[in-house]
Chains A and B, each alone.
Chain A
Amino acid sequence: MKHMKYAVATVALLAGMATAAQAGTLDDVKARGKLLCGVTTGLAGFGAPNDKGEWAGLDIDLCKGIAAAVFGDASKVEYKPLSAEQRFTALQSGEVDVLARNSTWTLSRDSQLALDFVQVNYYDGQGFMVHKDLGVKSALELKGATVCVQEGTTTEKNMGDFDKANGLGFQPVKFKENDQARAAYDEGRCDAYTTDVSGLAGERTALKDPANNIILPEIISKEPLGPVVRHGDNQWGDIVRWTHNATLVAEEKGITQANVDEVKKANAADNPAADAEVQRLLGVTDKMGEGLGLSNDWGYNIIKAVGNYGEIFDRNIGPKTPIGLERGLNALWNKGGLQYSPPVR
């Protein structure tokens, strides 16, 4: 009889877990009181602990933005560092609510993994970094070179495609973790190191002599990096998508972390000269938040917490940071880039 009682309890427990996982992610997050954000194990500028031991980076700010939109408090995030191999399984199994981990949006991942890529928060491409004294100026000169690469990434396959198209005969050395791959490259085990250019720029800062390493001009792939959610929970997908979009609209409208209160006041509901889209974004008029299942000042909360996309970019990876990346493809659409948000309407 005793056994039976345990059996019933166990089955009930397992069944309970199963139903919990099927409920809406937003309800789960609210009930838990914090967001579980899957992030990289450490990539400077995108997601890495800073000198105070706090997570910082472009992807981290997206996590903070989502937390601000849901709770009005950007600190209600628990960061879960995931390796390249673990990341999608962790999301599928409900270990994290969202993956903000410089992951490339591809057809196979979007369709075969039961996941949804909702937006692109960084347009990237794969490149090669070499030691300067190797005297190589182009990736096409790397015939027969040994290349360090992280395992379990789109990078591996792009390298294969590029190799095949140009008959280069690369000799890859693959590591589970990017820090091992970087260290092996740094020690001279490999002639070149390949990953997304943003990653190369971040990794370069961690090398023994960053100045002695150059990133070659060839961009061998399109790598749209963006946040990922589980397939089928459209409301949660909307929230993540519009968190990024809100930062884009804010940049377009010149709203910053510093002036958001002023702008909100200046665009009060009774002001006939106010910008209607700004009013909607900051929750002054209309009830845009309701559709997302959030409070109406969700947009205000995001900008107050992390600023607009331009600010996020400059703070983490911009030209003034050690990463030193230009806006390039990631400039707003009206400034020659690809970052474009549908209207807040």
Chain B
Amino acid sequence: MASAKTAATAGAAANTLSQTKPPFWRDERVRGIIAQVAVILLLVAAFAFLIYNFLEKQSKASGPAISFDFLTNIAGFQLSFSIIDVTLDSQIGHMILAGMINTLLAAAIAGFFATILGLVVGIARLSKNWLISRIAATYIEIIRNIPLLLQLVFWFGAMIAMLPLVKESVTIGDVIFLNKKGLFLPKPIFEGSIIIFILSVLLAIGLAGVIARWAAKRQIATGQQFPTISANIALIILLPLVTYVIVDPIVWEIPVKGGFNFKGGFTVQPEMTALIIGLSISTSAYIAEIVRAGIVAVSHGQTEASLALGLKQSWTLRLVILPQALRVIIPPLISQYLNVVKNSTLAGFIGYADLFAVIGTSQNQTGRAIECIIILMGFYLAVSLIISSIMNVYNKRAALVER
């Protein structure tokens, strides 16, 4: 009797509970969905308005419709620097391509030096030597707290102020010249026998690989070590050198003074040098901090364990600390590489013909502002996405594999 009553009460309670299920706006999940839908709708509405507004204004102002035909127009202007051949008769599209290559070139070189410099400074920052660690810290703080544009203008200004005039050029053996207009180097002109030389380089690299594998195997089997690195460096330098002397595959075009400039040879312009120095140094300070954070993140016990096993200090760093630190380092490093590419847009201020500068000129000559901005945005977006995806693949490999 009593039990039946309890059951009935329980049933009633269950009934009321299902009836008083909270209204949907109290449900966190539903609320989340509603908020997201609302935000998306707002975004779509905003974009639709912007596009509508643009089209509307364009039809009223009877301005030209969006079209990329201007890319095939003759540019009629010259670039200060280009890897690919550009002339006054080149098409605007070709000029823009040259600008893209210039941007990538400067960013790649600057990224490379920034990584090395950043690694060195980051490790120096953690040095037990008080002087070294303070110097590294000062370097980082100074560089990180000065705007990049100022640094670039400084390096460029310093460079052209310090370098000698053309008629007072500094020279090394009348082959290499340095003056305000740049560093003039002999340019290699390859002959047919270059193939033998390239083969010898490839052979040396292949042999080095074989040696490294053999040495590793032997060390695992017998514990005996082999000076792999020095042996391989010797191999990779010596074999091609000997081949080079024998087949003589390259004729050097030496720069000669003619008129206002040096003619022939290969020129490294001060604008590009200043850009690369400025970008490398500025980025290296950020990378140094990332490297330091990565190393500090590795438990000190790892170092102690490694030293206890009898590994040298340098081995400890190379074999134990850095591989683990990389897991922490890589993700923020990706954004530094993205920054190098994006920061290179300041190049125009010191006279380097990067994409942003070339687009600026093209836009001014053709009046195609929207098209030019689309190209610009598309390029930087694509480059950024490519860099992130490559680095993400690398990150996946370096990341801790959890079991």
Q: What is A's interface to B at a CB cutoff of 8 Å?
A: 3-4, 6-7, 10-11, 14-15, 18, 22, 84-85, 88-89, 108-109, 112-114, 134, 142-146, 148, 151-153, 156-157, 159-161, 163-164, 170-177, 180-181, 183-184, 187-189, 191, 231-232
Contact = CB atoms under 8 A, between A and B. Distances in A.
11 contacts: A4-B38, A18-B57, A89-B369, A112-B367, A146-B181, A146-B261, A152-B364, A172-B80, A188-B180, A191-B260, A232-B61
A142 B260 contact: yes
B259 A143 contact: yes
B270 interface: yes
B80 A174 contact: yes
B351 A85 contact: no
Contacts of A191: 260
Interface residues of B, number: 55
B348 A10 contact: no
B365 interface: yes
Contacts of A112: 63-64, 366-367
A210 to B, nearest CB: 19
A176 B160 contact: no
Contact of B49 (A4, A11, A184): A11
A189 B270 contact: yes
A85 B350 CA distance: 16
A113 B367 contact: yes
A144 B360 contact: no
A188 B261 contact: no
A198 B351 CA distance: 23
A215 B10 CA distance: 103
Interface in B150-164: 153, 156-157, 160-161
Contacts of A3: 35, 38-39, 42
A183 B161 CA distance: 10
Contact of A183 (B77, B157, B270, B363): B157
A92 B388 CA distance: 37
Nearest to A112: B367
A99 to B, nearest CB: 14
Given A146-B261, A175-B351, A187-B180, 10 more contacts: A7-B41, A143-B260, A144-B258, A144-B263, A152-B364, A156-B77, A161-B76, A176-B357, A184-B160, A191-B260
B367 A108 contact: yes
B46 to A, nearest CB: 7
Given A112-B367, A188-B180, A152 B360 contact: yes
B231 to A, nearest CB: 47
A48 B260 CA distance: 33
Interface string B271-297: 100000000000000000000000000
A187 B161 contact: yes
A182 to B, nearest CB: 12
B361 interface: yes
A195 to B, nearest CB: 14
Contacts of B357: 151, 174, 176
Contacts of A177: 349
B82 to A, nearest CB: 11
A151 B160 contact: no
Given A151-B357, A174-B361, A188 B61 contact: no
Contacts of A189: 160, 180-181, 270, 351
A308 to B, nearest CB: 34
B349 A10 contact: no
Nearest to B261: A144
Nearest to B271: A173
Contacts of B156: 184
Contacts of B63: 112-114
Q: Report the 8 A-B pairs with minimum CB-CB distance, sorted nearest first.
A: A152-B364, A176-B348, A112-B367, A3-B38, A187-B160, A114-B61, A145-B260, A114-B63
Contact of B78 (A170, A180, A187): A170
B45 interface: yes
Interface string B247-274: 0000000000011110100000111000
B335 interface: no
A11 B349 CA distance: 38
Contacts of B259: 143-145
Given A84-B364, A151-B361, A175-B350, A160 B260 contact: no
B53 interface: yes
Given A7-B42, A146-B181, A175-B349, A153 B49 contact: no
A41 to B, nearest CB: 13
Interface in B346-394: 348-351, 353, 357, 360-361, 363-367, 369
